Structure 1
C-alpha cells in the first residue's frame, strides 16, 4: 500500500506519519502507533476495551507462531470489510485505534 492510499485511509483521524518497520510500515498519529501494514494488510491497534468490537464486526486478530509453535496474539486487528467502502466507518475504526494507542501510554 503506498503512502497516498494510507493517508487517505486515515484522513478521518488527521495527518499520519508512516515509518518502515520489520518488513512493513508503522502508521503513527501524533507520535503514537495506531496501525501497521504487514504483507499488504492494514491492521489497526486494539486493546481489551476495543478488541471485542473488532471481533463482533468480523475482524481478525494478528496471530503469529512463536517459539515452540505456540500462537502469539498481537494487539492489532484487520479492518472490517464494510469500512473500505465507507469513509465514515473507516474514520470510526481509525479513531478506535488511536484511542487504544492513547490508553497504551
Structure 2
C-alpha cells in the first residue's frame, strides 16, 4: 500500500534539510527520492531506508526487523531497504541522521549503476565496425 498524504507530508517536513523530495508510486509502494536517487520506500506508512555495506553499522538497530521484500516464484526476495524503528518518528534529529546515511547509500548504489561510457562506446564501435 502506498504512503498516505499525511505521512508523505511528514517525511517532506522531516527531511527538508536533505533537499526537495519527490514521491513515486512503485509496485504498490511509494519510493522516496532526493537528488534523483531513491533513499527510502514507504509501504503502509512504514518507512524503509536504503542500506548498503557502508551504512549497515549505523542501521544495526533496524537489522532486528525483516527487510523490505517481495515474493517471486514462491520464494521471498529481500531488498536493500531496512525498516526504520518507529521510535525515530519521534526523534527528528536521529531520523534525519538515518536519512542522510540512506541518501549516501543511494548515491553509492547509483554510482555503481552508471555504465562506463568508454567501455560502452568501444563495444558499440566493434559491433558497428567503426565510428
- TM-score scaled by length of structure 1: 0.83
Tell me how many residue pairs correspond in the alignment. Answer: 103
| 4+ residue runs over 2 A deviation | 63-66
The residue aligned with 1:66 is: 72
Aligned CA-pair RMSD: 1.7
Q: What whole-Å deviation, never above 9, does each CA across 1:1-51 have from its counterpart, x for those lacking one?
A: 323122023224222011122112111101111111123211111112212
Cα distance in 2, alignment partners of residues 58 and 7 from structure 1: 22
Q: Do residues 57 (structure 1) and 45 (structure 2) align?
A: no
Give 1:53 deviation, angstroms.
Answer: 2.9
Query: Structure with the greater relative contact order (CA < 8 A, sep ≥ 6): 1 or 2?
Result: 1
Name structure 1 gaps, 5 residues minimum: none
Larger radius of gyration: 2
| Greater fraction of residues in strand | 1
- TM-score scaled by length of structure 2: 0.69
Is the partner of 2:19 in helix, strand or coil?
coil
| Greater fraction of residues in helix | 2
Is the partner of 1:53 in helix, strand or coil?
coil
The residue aligned with 2:47 is: 42
Cα distance in 2, alignment partners of residues 87 and 24 from structure 1: 23
Name structure 2 gaps, 5 residues minimum: 111-131
